[in-house]
A and B are shown apart, each in its own frame.
Chain A
Amino acid sequence: MTSNSKALRVEAISKRYGKRTVIDSVSLDLQPGEITALVGPSGAGKTTLMRLIAGMEKLDRGTIRSGDTILSTEAAHQPIEQRNIGLVFQDFALFPHLSVTGNIMFGLHTKDRAERQSITQDWIDRMRLGNRRDAFPHQLSGGEQQRVAIARAMAPEPHALLMDEPFSGLDPELRHATRQTALSVVREAGIPALFVTHDHAEALRHADQIAVLNAGTIAQSGSPDELYMKPNSLSVATALGDIQSVDTAQLPDALKAELPDVPKLFMRPEALKLDPNGQHEFKVIRANRAGTLCELTLAAGNAELVCGYILDQLPPVNTSVNVSINSHYVFSWPVSDL
């Protein structure tokens, strides 16, 4: 499927609704075979950006191209039906009047009959839908509907795949398996793929590239590791995991000495480490299990900090623990960026 391996380039695009600028000079490079996650708070313009790329909306400024083909400029707009970009919707949008087979075959109308059937059969097998081929959408489980939606979008060999919160409608236990299937299919096809999500663990775990959208602009984009460890702003740090703000003045002096000299700091839960040799003494206020990690609320000076550890045993409340600081997880940004 190398013929489809074209990069999708979004170059400085803007979109206004009336006076409100929803997308403001956004650029994004989607490479073949790479999965990009688009994250950001609700109202940041994630869905609008996706709709612009898909061709459901016209842009006001900038260019979108697939390889050498121009999809959108301010002067010209290639209609959605000519773009050959696969779409997976949050509500799946399966055709209610067509069976699983009919849905997957829907976009293959340009192929001849034999080819249509063999491609459809291939996708039914890959998506493990063999025993559901004649079922109608309302008879399918959420995970099955999702797999049909992916097969339907991928069957016509699109140049790119866009997914709008594709996994958010699924039960947590189904979500993981479905996501695995879907993303491996996309990776195999070697096309650029973009998915919108508000689940930062999902973005970190599955994407090759993450773009954080905030108030219509790309706050930062890069590899998951880069964005998690070196967020350039509070909005990026917040989009990718828990973070707490700390008034430096409240901290004990010994601790302050180890930290940058700014009035406000931001820490991930990993910033404090339980360490028998640690220099700082904290009192345990609360201790809970929260999945893999245990969540401790610790107090020192006038500050209360939340931290996460892997622990076999929770420390008793009101006891003291020794702690050291891992400065990789402590951030500070100029006040103007907050």
Chain B
Amino acid sequence: MTLSSSFKTPIAIIPVLVSLIILGPVLLAIWFGVFSPSGLSWDHILNNRLLPYSLTTLFMLAVTGMLIVLIAVPLAWLISLFDFPGRKIFEWCLILPLAVPGYVLAYSWANLASVAGPIQSAFRDLTSLSARDYWFPDIFTPAGLSVILALGLFPYVYITARAAFSNQSLATLEAARSLGMSGIRLFFKVAIPAARPAIIAGLALALMEASADYGAADYLGVQTLGVGIIRAWSSYGEPTSAARLALVLIGLAFSFMLIANLAQGKSGVQQNSYRWTTPQRTQLTGLHAGLACLHCISIMLIAFGIPVLRLLWLCLENGVPRRSVFDPVISSIILASAGTAFAFICALTLVLSNHYRQRAPWITRLSAAAGYATPGAVLGLSGLFLLQMLGQSLTGIIALLLLVWIYASRFTAAGTEPLYASLTRAPASLDHAARSLRVGRISRFYRVDLPILSPGALAAGLILFVEILKELPATLMLRPFGWDTLAIRAHAYASDERLVEATLPSLLIVIAGILPVLLLSYQITRSGEALK
């Protein structure tokens, strides 16, 4: 007779170790922020900079949030409940702005809206006014930054709101109609309140991303906390002051993460794509159809078409030397591949451990979210501290390894999402079924888990690769000399007023970014249309 005692194996430790790897840089940043002795510049920052940084950040977040809701919610309502020419195309291409990092949008729109740019030139040509005779909105302001970030981040809310509207039981809307409610009132009294948790969840994630922004704010000269952190490090040379400043930003980002999670729990929309029923859409005709179509096209053009085409135009018109991006492309591919591989293994470990253990340690559920919520600039600081502690300079392989670790800490969460999504196909009974057929742990991994995870694994890899490719602040702080990535090169050229040279690396990032966005929208649309 074969008897095996309790199955507590060392394997159970691995997910906890992975969680600690992910949490390490976050905890380190907090620890340094709280405990390290304050540097010389801290008094100056505390007295003169902290309040402006914080107020600017809060103002920027408030305006960005408002703009995102104004853009995304009506759009989602239009796409979910009405039919008009081009709806099917808009449905997925409205997610495309996610492919453009905020800083790239900022470069392009700053150029478009500048005094010498095409918009103002055309305006002057038409009106024969001179540049001093009229007022034109200035993009190099907190409000300008908000517009840019809202254009890049509104798809977060568009996706969740659309899911909520499509998922809202048709019966609820029909019940409201039968009670005499229609049009605008139906929208505000029934649809919006029911979709509110989903909208809040999407918005909180978008604002978390906005608070982590460094590239766009820096380029537009807006003094947000993210910019302040990097300034404290680069101008004052005092990472400890930066770490104190980072505490404020960590608090902010964690609050958003918490809100997103709480709201997501209430929305009950996320996981189950099977209940996704498409409501009968109202057919729009004539003027209404035209307006709906125009609305979608305008948003697409402003958030994606015009800025990307402008960069393309600048790039082609001025003939950017292609040799100049060879090295950054190689560096980007090496760093992004290494980061993807590491983050993917972390994500896979966490997903499997949470899927197959009823009592997964809390740390495995918390860690990825905490890493994701922590801005790149803050994680970059942790990397610098570690480098200091190890007595290493910014030149060697150690810095590269640390950077890869930081990537994993920041982006593992992005990799877990698609993996969890593919596991929804696999109820826990599947593992029991395999075990009852006398298949051991190792072979269950490659005979059951891997095949079921493989579609999600592709998406996870792609998303991780592009997220890391786009990453700016942590890379800026930790990359060794000679390891400029595309994002770094774009940022450096743009900051040096050499926008034309920044176009090619920017465009390459956008092109790479379109791939996972297309995959994402394909999956969303497919799950939307699956199962009546």
Contact = CB atoms under 8 A, between A and B. Distances in A.
Interface of A: 54-56, 58, 68-70, 75-87, 89, 91, 93-98, 106-107, 109-110, 152-153, 156, 158
B436 A87 contact: yes
Given A69-B1, A91-B427, A95-B448, A77 B6 contact: yes
B67 interface: no
A54 B432 CA distance: 9
Contacts of B447: 106
Given A82-B4, A91-B429, 11 more contacts: A70-B1, A78-B1, A78-B2, A79-B4, A89-B429, A95-B430, A106-B434, A106-B439, A106-B447, A152-B433, A153-B436
A109 B434 CA distance: 11
A76 B5 contact: yes
A82 B430 contact: no
Contact of B451 (A78, A97, A109): A97
A298 to B, nearest CB: 41
Given A76-B5, A109-B443, A93 B433 contact: yes
13 contacts: A55-B435, A75-B5, A77-B3, A78-B4, A79-B7, A83-B436, A87-B436, A89-B432, A93-B427, A95-B430, A97-B454, A109-B443, A152-B437
B3 A70 contact: yes
B514 interface: no
Nearest to B428: A93
A-B complex: 4 closest residue pairs judged by Cβ atoms: A107-B437, A93-B429, A97-B451, A76-B3
Interface residues of B, number: 27
Contacts of A79: 4, 7, 435
Q: Which of A70, A77, A93 is the most central at the interface, judged by chain B CB atoms within 10 Å of its CB? A: A93
Contacts of B443: 109
A77 B5 contact: yes
B180 interface: no
Contacts of B1: 68-70, 78
B482 interface: no
A82 B448 CA distance: 18
Contacts of A55: 435
A80 B435 contact: yes
B183 interface: no
A114 B474 CA distance: 57
A78 B4 CA distance: 6
A84 B437 CA distance: 7
B436 A54 contact: yes
B440 interface: yes
Where chain A touches its partner, the secondary structure class is loop
Given A68-B1, A97-B451, A81 B440 contact: yes
A93 B426 CA distance: 8
B285 to A, nearest CB: 37
B357 interface: no
B379 to A, nearest CB: 36
A81 B427 contact: no
Given A91-B427, A91-B429, A93-B427, A85 B452 contact: no
A93 B432 contact: yes
Contacts of A69: 1
A1 B2 CA distance: 22
A109 B439 contact: yes
B425 interface: yes
B322 interface: no
Nearest to A82: B2
A94 B425 CA distance: 10
B532 to A, nearest CB: 14
Contacts of B454: 97
Contacts of B429: 89, 91, 93
B323 interface: no
Interface string B1-38: 11111110000000000000000000000000000000
B438 interface: yes
Nearest to B454: A97
Contact of A107 (B6, B426, B438, B451): B438
Interface in B237-254: none
A56 B3 contact: no
Q: Which of A54, A91, A106 is the most central at the interface, judged by chain B CB atoms within 10 Å of its CB? A: A106
Contact of B439 (A68, A77, A107): A107
Interface string B92-104: 0000000000000
A82 B438 contact: yes
Contacts of A56: 432
Contacts of A77: 3-6
A95 to B, nearest CB: 6
A98 B452 CA distance: 10
Contacts of A68: 1
Contact of A84 (B6, B438, B452): B438
Contacts of B436: 54, 80-81, 83, 85-87, 107, 153, 158
A83 B5 CA distance: 14
Contact of A93 (B2, B5, B430, B452): B430
A81 B435 contact: yes
A75 B3 CA distance: 10
Interface in B398-443: 425-427, 429-430, 432-440, 443
B2 A106 contact: no
Contacts of A98: 451
A97 B435 contact: no
A189 to B, nearest CB: 16
Nearest to A70: B1
Contacts of B435: 55, 79-81
Q: Which of B3, B430, B448 is the most central at the interface, judged by chain A CB atoms within 10 Å of its CB? A: B3
Contacts of B448: 95
Interface string B34-55: 0000000000000000000000
A93 B454 CA distance: 19
Contacts of B426: 96
Contacts of B7: 79
B4 A87 contact: no
